[in-house]
Each structure stands twice: as structure tokens, then as C-alpha cells.
Amino acid sequence: MADREPVELKLREQVVLKLRELILGGELAAGQRVAEIPISERLGVSRTPVRQALTILAQEGLLSAAGKRGYVVHAFSAKDILDAIEVRGILEGAAARLTAEAGPSPDLMQALEACLAEGEIIATQEHYGLDDDVRWVGVNGRFHKLIVEASANAALISALALNDKRPFASAQAVLGGDAPSRPIARRHHEVVLRAQAEHKRIVEALRLRQGTRLQSLMQEHARLAQANVALFRPA
Amino acid sequence: MADREPVELKLREQVVLKLRELILGGELAAGQRVAEIPISERLGVSRTPVRQALTILAQEGLLSAAGKRGYVVHAFSAKDILDAIEVRGILEGAAARLTAEAGPSPDLMQALEACLAEGEIIATQEHYGLDDDVRWVGVNGRFHKLIVEASANAALISALALNDKRPFASAQAVLGGDAPSRPIARRHHEVVLRAQAEHKRIVEALRLRQGTRLQSLMQEHARLAQANVALFRPA
């Protein structure tokens, strides 16, 4: 997981991120053909990282193979997005339960309490704004990552990493979009207040090693993200 | 899922399968360097499918990136194998629960009953042998696939497909190895008898839409495979 990757792999990862953004943002629309040469020209990189990136995105399901070295952008429905969020809940719930059953370490509890304290400051801002969104995405990401990695199950961590690449599936996608309008910022603040309250219960259940309760809480917590889907992608 | 793939992708898939076999069989041992040119010479294929296959195997976690275009074979411990089986149980259990909650179709129930009938004939063979192992792997694979695909959750199906590629993680890996000795054949027969009994309960719980019971049964059913790990890979 924490391999120091050579420069070539970093470039490939950047191309993966850029292509994913173009697809999710709709600039490369569903059904559109995607080929090695035009993409390498568009991004100003050599063909090798582009070729590898296309292979990876096809494995993820964002692209479908279509002819020699060609791909088309895969169509994603609202159901696909809700399903991926459901799977995140299932996996995060299982990870939390495994950690509770094994007994959480004092270090883990301390790190989670630090996330709660930081989250409390953000959630109780009087004038909640874009900066708070950005800070929340950071602390929320750390909170979820701590719980998943504490499971110490490589297969589970890897299944979640794959699922996180699906549109709107990751905990980081709970908010998103840049420069939200005032009504959307208000909606974000409501989501953050609910999420922070749920985080507190999750930490309590983990401290008490209540595995079954924790799994249910964590699984339901993921559904907060389902409410956001309508914001970006009206049915 | 059912894309008709061009010849080039089929070749890539063959290289992936062959390399996976060499790694899991220990011919490419943990820590060993794996590079594009020697592999393409060894398998008698061009470098393009090998390059793509190496990228895919690195994404799966069987290889780790190490320097320019190079990889090393990742080490797998007994814990890695048990963890992947645990994750299969979590995902198959969730798939079965979702199917029970949505209500199983008559076609699904009929197909599962057909698997039960065929499994019963295999499991109750008087002289259980290698042929029965092969037949069981077939009917068992169909049984598990039917349940997973009935969830109609693409993210879940894809997470399971990734997990199935880990050593001994898939339902197909419940048996394995060619030409087992007589004591191992006897052990296989015991596993098949238990698995068949569990399949019957699973179908019953699904028919009654008992989602929670079904999830527990399915999750515990995966643990049958954990008992097999010791057979191949003593701790």
C-alpha cells in the first residue's frame, strides 16, 4: 500500500485521475470512443502511461473494450451509484465489526477522538462555507481510513479501494463540486452535522466493542452519501 | 460483463491467467523479479499483452511495482488467504440478503433447486473420486454465481470478482489440486457433504425471504474453504 512508486507509475496514476475526472465530469460522455493517441496528445504525455491508464480504467469498469486498443466510456446509472454506496457500507461495516471484535488499540481510539474533536469545530461553525467543506472532507477521509485500515484485512482494504473508484462511492465523495451556491452550502452543513453525530456513535460503539451495533451504524452511515446523489445527478 | 472482447484482449486475459498460475503454483516465487521481456519470451507472446497483464496483476496485488517497468511477486501469508475468504463470505452474504429482501424470482429458485438435485447425486456417490470433485466444482460454481448475480448489484459483483482472484478465495477453490491421494479424496467428500447440506439451508432461507438468517448462513458457508487452506498450505 505504501510502496514508494517510481516516477513512471506516478505519471500513470495522474493520467488515471485526470481521465476519471473527465469521465465523471461528463467531458468524456457515456458511449464516447477513447483511444490512446488522442488522449496522449490531449494530456501532453507519452502513450505508455495512457495505455496503462486505459487498461486500469477498463478494469474498474469506467471504460469498456471496443476494438483494437480502443475503448468506449461506460454508461453509469443512478442505480450503479447507489449500489456502489451500498457496497461501501457493507465493507466499511464489516471492517468496523472486525476491529471491534479484535479489540481496538488505544492509538486507534485516540486518533478517532482527535477526528471527532476536529469535526466538532467544523460542524459547529456559525457561518459554514466552502473552506469548511474542504476541511470536513479531510477529517472525514481520515476517520473512515482509520477504521478501514484497523481491520488489518488486506483483501477488504483492497475491495474498498476498488469500490471507492466508482463515481460517488467513496467517503470523500460525500461532498463535492467546487464553489457551491448558498442553498447547496446550507445542505452541505446539514449533512456534516448529521455525519458528525453519527461519527460520535460509531466511536462509542467501537469503544464498547459492540460489533453488531457498530456494523449497523457504519452501514447506515454510508447511506448519507446516497442522499447526495440527487444533488449531482437528478433521477 | 458479457462484452465480446477483441482477440488482443483475449490474449491479454490468457497471459493474466498463465502468470497467475505461475505465481500461485510457486514457479514465480514471492520476492522474485518479473519483467516484461523475459515473460514475453517465456510465454511466446508479444510484449503488449504482457505489459497489460503485469499492470493488471499489480492492481490485483499479486505483484508489487519495483523500478522502471519492473515488478516483484508479492508474498502471501496464510492470514492473507483467510482474510480473502472472510471477505468472500461478507460479500456473498450481503448479495444473498439483498436478493432475499428484493424477493427471489421463480427462475432463480428453479435454477438453485436444479443445483441442489445435481449436488445431491454427487455428494451421495458410494465411491467418491476425482471425477466427482470435478463435477462438484462445476455445480458449486453455478450455485454461488446464481446467488451473487441475482443481487443485480454491479459494484458487489465486481468486488467479488476482484476478491476471487486472490489465492484460495473463490468458491471454485473449495477443492483443487490434481489427482488427490485417497485420504485427500475422503476429506474432499466430507467437505462436499457439508457444503451440500449448507446449500439446502441457504435455498430454504432464500425461499422464505429470511434475509438475516441467509446472510449468516452464507457468510459461515464461506468458512468451509478456510478449512481447506491447511491442506495446501500448512501454517
Domain assignment of residue A2, yes or no: no
Q: What element of type H or E holds A213?
A: helix A211-232
Domain assignment of residue A112, yes or no: yes
Q: According to the model, what pLDDT value does residue A173 have?
A: 61
Distance from CA of B153 to the nearest CA of A (A): 6
Is any Cβ of chain A less than 8 angstroms from the Cβ of B212?
Answer: no
Asked if residue A153 and residue A172 are part of one domain, the reply reads yes
Q: How confident is the model at residue A61 (pLDDT cuts 50, 70, 90)?
A: confident
Domain count along chain A:
2
Residue closest to B88 by CA, chosen among B139, B150, B134, B144: B144
Distance from CA of B190 to the nearest CA of A (A): 28
- Rounding to the nearest 10 degrees, give the CA dihedral for residues B174, B21, A47, B45: -140
Q: What is the mean pLDDT of residues A109-129?
A: 94
From A73, A104, A131, give the residue that closes a domain. Answer: A73
pLDDT > 70? residue A50: yes
**Is there a contact between A61 and B154 if contact means CB atoms under 8 Å apart?**
yes
Three-class SS state of A233: coil
Phi/psi zone of residue A26: left (φ > 0), alpha (ψ -120 to 50 degrees), beta? left
Asked if residue A116 and residue A29 are part of one domain, the reply reads no
Least confident window among A162-176, A181-195, B13-27, B111-125: A162-176
pLDDT > 70? residue B49: yes
pLDDT, mean over chain B:
85
Distance from CA of A153 to the nearest CA of B (A): 6
From A73, A107, A128, give the residue that closes a domain. Answer: A73
Asked if residue B178 and residue B100 are part of one domain, the reply reads yes
Asked if residue A212 and residue A197 are part of one domain, the reply reads yes
Distance from CA of A154 to the nearest CA of B (A): 7
For chain A, give the percent of residues with pLDDT over 90. 48
Q: According to the model, what pLDDT value does residue B230 have?
A: 56
pLDDT > 70? residue B101: yes
Asked if residue B104 and residue B69 are part of one domain, the reply reads no
pLDDT > 70? residue B160: yes
Asked if residue A185 and residue A110 are part of one domain, the reply reads yes
Q: How confident is the model at residue B172 (pLDDT cuts 50, 70, 90)?
A: low
Q: According to the model, what pLDDT value does residue A3 have?
A: 42
More reliable by pLDDT, A29 or A7? A29
pLDDT > 90? residue A150: yes
Asked if residue A154 and residue A121 are part of one domain, the reply reads yes
Q: What is the mean pLDDT of residues A184-202?
A: 90
Report the CATH number at residue A21: 1.10.10.10
Assess: ipTM above 0.85. no
Buried b (16+ CB within 10 A) or exposed e, B99-127: bbeeebeeebeebbeebbebbeebbeeee
Query: What residues of B are in contact with residue A8 (Cβ under 8 Å)?
Result: 68-69
Asked if residue A133 and residue A60 are part of one domain, the reply reads no
pLDDT, mean over chain A:
85
**Is there a contact between A86 and B52 if contact means CB atoms under 8 Å apart?**
no
More reliable by pLDDT, B60 or A52? A52
Asked if residue B184 and residue B140 are part of one domain, the reply reads yes
Residue of A nearest to B156 (CA): A87
**Is there a contact between B90 and A86 if contact means CB atoms under 8 Å apart?**
no
Asked if residue A223 and residue A147 are part of one domain, the reply reads yes
Report the CATH number at residue B188: 1.20.120.530
> A97 lies in which domain range?
78-232
Contact A115, A199 (CB under 8 A): yes
Asked if residue B125 and residue B86 are part of one domain, the reply reads yes
From B24, B39, B73, give the residue that closes a domain. Answer: B73
**Is there a contact between A155 and B87 if contact means CB atoms under 8 Å apart?**
yes
Q: What is the mean pLDDT of residues B134-141?
A: 89
Question: How large is the C-alpha radius of gyration of chain B?
Answer: 19
What whole-number distance in Å separates Cα of residue A89 and Cα of residue A83? 10
Is any Cβ of chain A less than 8 angstroms from the Cβ of B227?
Answer: no
Q: According to the model, what pLDDT value does residue A155 have?
A: 93
More reliable by pLDDT, A154 or A8? A154
pLDDT > 80? residue A99: yes
For chain A, give the percent of residues with pLDDT over 70. 85
Domain assignment of residue B117, yes or no: yes
Q: Which residue type occupies B129?
A: G
Asked if residue B182 and residue B100 are part of one domain, the reply reads yes
Domain assignment of residue B1, yes or no: no
Burial status of residue A158 (CB atoms within 10 A of its CB: 0-12, 13-18, 19 or more): buried
Query: Which range has highest mean pLDDT (A198-207, B8-17, B39-48)?
Result: A198-207
Whole-angstrom CA distances from B54 to A169, B48, B64, B67, B164 are 27, 10, 10, 13, 18
Q: How confident is the model at residue B79 (pLDDT cuts 50, 70, 90)?
A: confident
SS3 content of chain B, % helix, strand, coil (to 5): 70, 5, 25
Q: What is the mean pLDDT of residues B54-65?
A: 81
Residue whose C-alpha cell is 452535522: A193
pLDDT > 80? residue B168: no
Q: What are the tens digits of pLDDT across the range B178-227?
A: 445 667 678 788 889 999 999 999 999 999 999 999 999 999 999 988 77
